[in-house]
């Protein structure tokens, strides 16, 4: 039997989803510097810790593409090549940032400003519409602790936490016992609105099946019914008027309600107008009882990316620095639109994999121009990158700050060292800024 020296790190924050669970225990093999056991984590978060172990997928040294093949080079050479690409570009795009810590994101803003680049984060393909709606009509939000301790009516609208945020239900919204909700699940009434009968819907008290892409009409009907208007229609979005009336009664009767909404609202037709209507509904429900809503953010630090970008530039995503000052217009400066129209001439992708998630037309144009990828392991994006800068996993191999989905900042912990020559995203961006400044003669 091989003898192992094990170190256990307690109270680790999980860098996977926006729930940002902060009670993980991670066992590390000291000799091999690898994760051997993760306790308290969900399936997805645990897997992320294991994926940081040395394997064939991880980049250990910087790489440059030459004659169609990646070859390992020194940091100096790789950074020089990357800075060259960025300085020569007339309209570079900096995208990603949601799976790294706030300090690195802030460096990203600095680099974008120096380059006159376009700066975007993954919110532009997930909860960007929520931000647009919040700018239009405001938002009654709160921290997750409030929902845990007080909520007796919870609505999951177009979100499926059983699969996407597995511990959200146990920690904040459904099964957890709160200060005023001593009986946990029995003290809460759960409603799920979704076109699919998801696993979240199967454990709910009431499931409302809405027709795909018709959420706006349903919210609209609920709002009108809440005002006491007799609707002309007999059925809205596949839901009968009787059922809508029943639902409105429930919403009015609860002591403290909350709507958790996900991609089912933000990325179906009507996008930000769905959220606009949901926010107006929440606001109007406050005439009768206490009601709040909360976006179910995906990446663990996408909220942080929005926060950092906002305090640095005034805008949360889709920012254009080409005129020297920040300008904001999703649809014009958002990555997918820019790439589809082929309006960028080089890109730097930080901790993200657009090649797997963007539309094919956008990915085609992304690969057409020089591409730099800051990435811990091989992804479809980094495989086609001209320069690959190997990064350490933020929250596993380096410290940093991350914002939970309710905008609460938490300190990420370092549980082990990064393998090979990997550096943290922050260090890489700092070095890149230095190189770029050198080339620009500043």
Partner 1 sequence: MVEIKLKLKKKPELPLEADIITPDNFVGKNVADIKKLELYYGKEVVKLGNFFDISGKSTDINDTKIIIDGDLSNVKRIGENMSGGEIIINGNVGMHVGSQMKGGKITVNGNADDWAGAMLQGGELEINGDAGHYVGAAYRGFWQGMKNGTIKVKGKVGNETLAWVNGSKPGKRFPKLICGSAGAFLGIHSHGGIIIVEGDCDRCAGADQVRGAIVVKGKVTKILPSYKKIGEVGEIELPNGEKLTGKFIEYSGDHSVDKNHSKIDKKTGEISKSSNGRLYIAA
**CB-wise, 274 or 303, nearer to partner 1?**
274
Report if residue 269 touches partner 1, rule: CB under 8 A: yes
Among 9, 206, 280, 408, binds partner 1 (CB under 8 A): 280
Size of the site for partner 1 (CB under 8 A): 39
Residues 6+ apart with CB under 8 A from 35: 26, 27, 28, 29, 49, 50, 52, 53, 396, 415, 416
| Dihedral-angle region of residue 192 (phi above 0 means left; psi in -120 to 50 means alpha; beta otherwise) | beta
Q: Round to whole Å and give the CA distance between 206 and 140.
A: 24
**CB-wise, 181 or 223, nearer to partner 1?**
223
CB of 141 to partner 1, least distance (A): 17
**CB-wise, 172 or 321, nearer to partner 1?**
321
Residue 63 phi/psi, 5-degree rounding, is: -130, 150
Q: Round to whole Å and give the CA distance between 250 and 291.
A: 12
- Restricted to residues 317-346, the positions that interact with partner 1 (CB under 8 A) are 321-323, 328-332, 343, 345
Write the CA distances from 109 to 311, 367, 432, integer angstroms.
10, 23, 13
Q: Round to whole Å and give the CA distance between 260 and 249.
A: 19
Token digits of residue 378: 């091989």
Residues 6+ apart with CB under 8 A from 318: 118, 120, 124, 128, 328, 329, 330, 331, 332, 333, 334, 335
Among 194, 217, 397, 425, binds partner 1 (CB under 8 A): 217
**Which stretch, 4-12, 132-140, 294-302, 421-429, contacts partner 1 (CB under 8 A)?**
132-140
Report if residue 5 touches partner 1, rule: CB under 8 A: no
**CB-wise, 319 or 392, nearer to partner 1?**
319
Among 107, 148, 167, 223, binds partner 1 (CB under 8 A): 223
**Which stretch, 52-60, 146-154, 163-171, 265-273, contacts partner 1 (CB under 8 A)?**
265-273
**Which stretch, 67-75, 131-139, 357-365, 395-403, contacts partner 1 (CB under 8 A)?**
131-139
**CB-wise, 332 or 378, nearer to partner 1?**
332
Report yes or no: 388 and 62 within 8 Å, Cβ to Cβ. Answer: yes
| Residue written as token pair 């009409």 | 217
**Which stretch, 55-63, 93-101, 229-237, 403-411, contacts partner 1 (CB under 8 A)?**
229-237
CB of 437 to partner 1, least distance (A): 16
Report if residue 230 touches partner 1, rule: CB under 8 A: yes
CB of 349 to partner 1, least distance (A): 19
CB of 275 to partner 1, least distance (A): 13
Residues 6+ apart with CB under 8 A from 53: 34, 35
Report if residue 228 touches partner 1, rule: CB under 8 A: yes
CB of 266 to partner 1, least distance (A): 15
Site string for partner 1, 233-252 (x = CB under 8 A): x--x----------------
* Cβ-based burial of 284 (10 A; exposed 0-12, middle 13-18, buried ≥19): middle
Among 84, 136, 378, 427, binds partner 1 (CB under 8 A): 136
**Which stretch, 55-63, 130-138, 302-310, 356-364, contacts partner 1 (CB under 8 A)?**
130-138
CB of 369 to partner 1, least distance (A): 11
**CB-wise, 198 or 274, nearer to partner 1?**
274
Among 72, 84, 284, 353, binds partner 1 (CB under 8 A): 284
Residues 6+ apart with CB under 8 A from 174: 154, 185, 188, 190, 203
Report if residue 110 touches partner 1, rule: CB under 8 A: no
Which residues make up the interface to partner 1 (CB under 8 A)?
90-91, 115-117, 132, 135-136, 216-217, 220-221, 223-224, 227-233, 236, 269-270, 273, 276-277, 280, 284, 321-323, 328-332, 343, 345
């Amino acid at each position: 039997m091989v003898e192992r020296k094990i170190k256990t790190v307690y109270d680790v924050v999980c860098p996977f989803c926006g729930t940002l669970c902060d009670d993980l225990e991670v066992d590390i093999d000291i000799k091999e510097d690898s994760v051997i056991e993760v306790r308290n984590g969900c399936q997805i978060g645990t897997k992320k810790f294991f994926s940081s172990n040395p394997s064939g997928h991880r980049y250990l040294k910087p790489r440059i593409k030459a004659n169609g093949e990646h070859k390992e080079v020194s940091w100096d050479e790789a950074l020089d090549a990357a800075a060259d690409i960025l300085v020569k570009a007339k309209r570079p795009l900096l995208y990603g940032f949601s799976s790294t810590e706030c300090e690195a994101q802030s460096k990203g803003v600095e680099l974008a400003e120096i380059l006159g680049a376009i700066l975007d984060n993954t919110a532009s393909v997930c909860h960007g519409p929520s931000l647009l709606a919040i700018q239009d009509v405001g938002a009654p939000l709160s921290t997750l602790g409030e929902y845990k301790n007080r909520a007796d009516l919870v609505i999951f609208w177009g979100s499926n936490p059983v699969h996407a945020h597995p511990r959200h239900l146990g920690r904040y919204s459904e099964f957890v016992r709160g200060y005023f909700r001593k009986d946990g699940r029995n003290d809460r009434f759960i409603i799920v609105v979704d076109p699919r009968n998801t696993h979240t819907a199967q454990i709910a008290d009431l499931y409302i099946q809405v027709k795909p892409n018709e959420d706006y009409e349903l919210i609209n009907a609920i709002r009108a019914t809440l005002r006491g208007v007799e609707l002309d229609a007999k059925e809205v979005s596949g839901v009968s008027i009787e059922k809508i009336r029943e639902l409105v009664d429930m919403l009015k009767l609860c002591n403290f309600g909350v709507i958790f909404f996900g991609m089912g609202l933000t990325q179906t037709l009507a996008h930000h107008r769905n959220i606009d209507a949901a926010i107006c509904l929440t606001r109007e429900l406050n005439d009768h009882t206490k009601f709040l809503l909360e976006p179910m953010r995906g990446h663990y630090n996408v909220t942080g990316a929005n926060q950092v970008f906002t305090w640095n530039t005034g805008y949360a995503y889709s920012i254009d620095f080409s005129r020297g000052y920040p300008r904001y217009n999703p649809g014009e400066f958002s990555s997918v639109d820019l790439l589809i129209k082929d309006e960028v001439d080089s890109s730097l992708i930080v901790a993200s994999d657009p090649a797997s998630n963007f539309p094919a037309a956008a990915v085609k144009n992304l690969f057409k121009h020089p591409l730099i990828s800051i990435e811990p392991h091989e992804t479809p994006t980094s495989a086609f990158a001209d320069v690959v800068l190997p990064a350490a996993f933020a929250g596993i191999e380096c410290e940093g700050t991350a914002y939970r989905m309710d905008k609460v900042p938490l300190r990420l912990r370092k549980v082990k060292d990064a393998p090979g020559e990997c550096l943290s995203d922050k260090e890489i961006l700092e070095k890149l800024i230095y190189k770029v400044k050198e080339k620009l003669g500043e």
